[in-house]
């Protein structure tokens, strides 16, 4: 989404290798990895944090090649997914923080533009998730009640 409002053209950055082979040097079995995912999720980590911890602490470069499922699929099977998708929660946190800044600094027009962009991103994501059935059709974002979603 950043390319809509940014000056850049397209996405750049590191990509995963194309090969989808199970790593021979990896000592973890698929069942062990699923148990690690569940344990980390019960500690309050979201799916991206779980992936980072598995990569950095446990040396598991790609969960999907090992267990043939995504981390969110494992969490959904165990009913550990949050009510809202992770990217919407991140945008809600940004929106609340920027709105709080705007209350103290009403003259900050750059922040006002940022608030408009964040709200636009949020609305587009909500529309997508309603269409794909990941959130309820009658769900509506209310900034006053956004504290419920933020830890």
Interval 38-78: pLDDT, tens: 999 999 999 999 999 999 999 998 899 889 999 999 999 99
pLDDT of residue 151: 61
What is d(CA 126, CA 146) in angstroms, rounded to the nearest whole number? 14
The pLDDT-based confidence of 103 (bands split at 50, 70, 90) is: very high
Look up the pTM and report it: 0.78
CA torsion sign for 52, 75, 150, 97 is positive
């Amino acid at each position: 989404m950043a390319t809509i409002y940014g000056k850049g053209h397209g996405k750049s950055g590191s990509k995963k290798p194309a090969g989808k082979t199970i790593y021979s040097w990896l000592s973890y079995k698929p069942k062990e990895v699923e148990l690690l995912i569940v344990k980390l999720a019960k500690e309050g980590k979201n799916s991206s944090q779980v992936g980072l911890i598995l990569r950095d602490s446990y040396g598991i470069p790609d969960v999907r090649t090992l267990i043939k499922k995504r981390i969110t699929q494992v969490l959904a099977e165990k009913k550990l997914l949050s009510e809202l998708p992770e990217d919407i929660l991140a945008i809600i946190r940004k929106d609340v923080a920027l709105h709080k800044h705007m209350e103290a600094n009403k003259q900050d027009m750059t922040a006002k533009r940022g608030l408009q962009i964040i709200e636009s991103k949020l609305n587009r994501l909500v529309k997508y998730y309603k269409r794909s059935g990941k959130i309820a059709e009658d769900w509506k974002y209310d900034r006053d009640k956004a504290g419920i979603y933020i830890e």
